Structure 1
Amino acid sequence: MSQTVRGVISRSTKAPTEVVDVVIPDPGARDVIVKIQACGVCHTDLAYRDGGINDEYPFLLGHEAAGIVETVGSDVTHVEVGDFVVLNWRAVCGQCRACKRGRPWYCFDTHNASVPMTLTDGTELTPALGIGAFAEKTLVHEGQCTKVNPETDPAVAGLLGCGVMAGLGAAMNTGNVGRGDSVAVIGCGGVGDAAIAGARLAGATTIIGIDRDPAKLEWATDLGATHTINAAEVDDLVTAVQDLTDGFGVDVVVEAVGRPQTYTDAFYARDLAGTVVLVGVPTPDMKLELPLIDFFSRGGALKSSWYGDCLPERDFPMLIDLYEQGRLPLDKFVTERIGLTDIEDAFAAMEQGKVLRSVVEL
């Protein structure tokens, strides 16, 4: 039988979110119902609310979540009732051209639940990133569930579902940061600071956090930056980075802002044959103009990082284990713990740069 739970929806562009009754149907053959314990408030949820993703309203927001498997479909084998899981939006299909080439982190046909969640009047909801976890329960495909250590704080574990994994993976997976490398991270919000933590974990010896907000630079230092640069206080950011690296620039720059100017700074702040990783999300109207000869003469690699090029089944349990060992301070990303009715305040705090993550606890 279907069941009704509380959830947070967005009905129209930039309209305030609402806590409403959400109908969870019986799961399809390979679907599961997860009782949500915690869900982080991510910029992507705000983008959904404001029409920055698509116009398939109403949206059931929330996607950075952890919880307990409550009900499973008839053909589910991946998880069992009672499993503690982190939800992910890259449930790889195993059959698309990326998966068959051995690059499943680029899967082009990821799985989602086979039946929709609805409002009580039957209106179908579009779950954020196929998850919809600002709710007491949600319905997802079994492949969207990754089992992790059940002793972990759900508010911490759930952060791997999106932003923190995006930053960690941008450094560790996409950027291939290694022992002794020098790294600069432009933009020290949640994703950028996760890249700093990832660079530290990977063994980078020089890690430069760059932002215009002194509070964010303090967060960056706390999470592993060896140096910081306040971009508002320097005339030339590229020169400032070179001054910290014997005039050469860094091996890897992670650009976590997503703007043409910060990308241009990232391009020139790297050493010859260095790597730029774009993880900040630009808007469709943005354009980049650089001399083509500079692309040729500097060499190296220019990469984009989607979801930190992660494989949830590989990466989530490993990162949780590192957290439990005290080697990865995931708990430092949890700035505040809130309820379902506090989403709009959390969006405002996020826009004002006051938090790394607000986390809804249920």
Structure 2
Amino acid sequence: MHETQWWHPSRHADRRPLLLARNRIQASIRGWLAERDFIEVDPCALQVSPGNEAHLHAFATEAIGHDGSPRAMYLHTSPEFAMKKLLAAGEPRIAAFAHVWRNRERGPTHSPEFSMLEWYRAGEDYTVLMQDCAAFLQIAATATGAKTLQNKGITCDPFAPFERLSVAEAFARHAGIDLLATCGAGGATDAAALRTQCAAQGFRLSDDDTWSDMLSKVLVERVEPHLGHGRPTMLDRYPAAEAALARPAADDPRVAERFEVYACGIELANGFGELTDPAEQRRRFIAEMDEKERVYGERYPLDEDFLAALAFMPPASGIALGFDRLVMLATGAPRIDDVLWTPVA
């Protein structure tokens, strides 16, 4: 049994080149960020709220005060809340390599504890983040000497100009669905209309599938597998109902300034033109927690300090990148555990 464990000398010898490549990629990205006046910060992982997205699951713990009184706390699912407080405090460009924790996640590209590279640009448009991501893909390939990123026989040339594709365009191209016909301004959605289109395209649906459930099925089954083939894809302009912490697009209130980065069919990053309206953010958080309670029977508290800080936060763009996944693609490693120095047991 011990020969299969990551700490066995023979197994470590196989993994060590991948781990040293990981360090080279991280050092190169740190250098790139420093050259552009990013300040590297170190957000605390222990928070009063782990994040407020319905389908993200946290690790809960308990802090004991000096008087013995307990307080519920959580390991963050992202350093986002803490880093945006630093933007509110006046930091213009910040970045972090943060360990984050997500429960109910384990598989070839998922670990319950993983490393997230998150960075923010105050006063800059979210499309600049696309250029940043393209640079990091190239840095990773250069650090490993790879000509292409690879996963399960799929290749992606990080040096090729990236594809920028809206979610609506991707749904039309890969699933034959007119997504914006089911979207209204401000996040209103028409589940019946999307159900009709999905059924016509052969999707198997449950009677209780919501509009968001159906969107997710189409994305996972028909769209994502085609993204990032040959060149990176920036999947842009998510519907407003899926905006999370992103602001609405100025030219179309049906969509938001949100994009995701794909290479070799793998999602690598999720970026926003950041929402800074505390009232709207509170409304979205409550709606997300209502959905979480409906589906999973639990909800997380809101970080009231974060909502208060939004009133001081400047216009900004921000993004989180799964650093371990980037290392996987640059080294050709088949599993995320292969590129973690000490994988979760």
Q: TM-score, normalised by structure 2?
A: 0.27
Higher relative contact order (CA 8 A, sep 6+): 2
Task: Judging by fraction of residues, say which structure has more helix.
Answer: 2
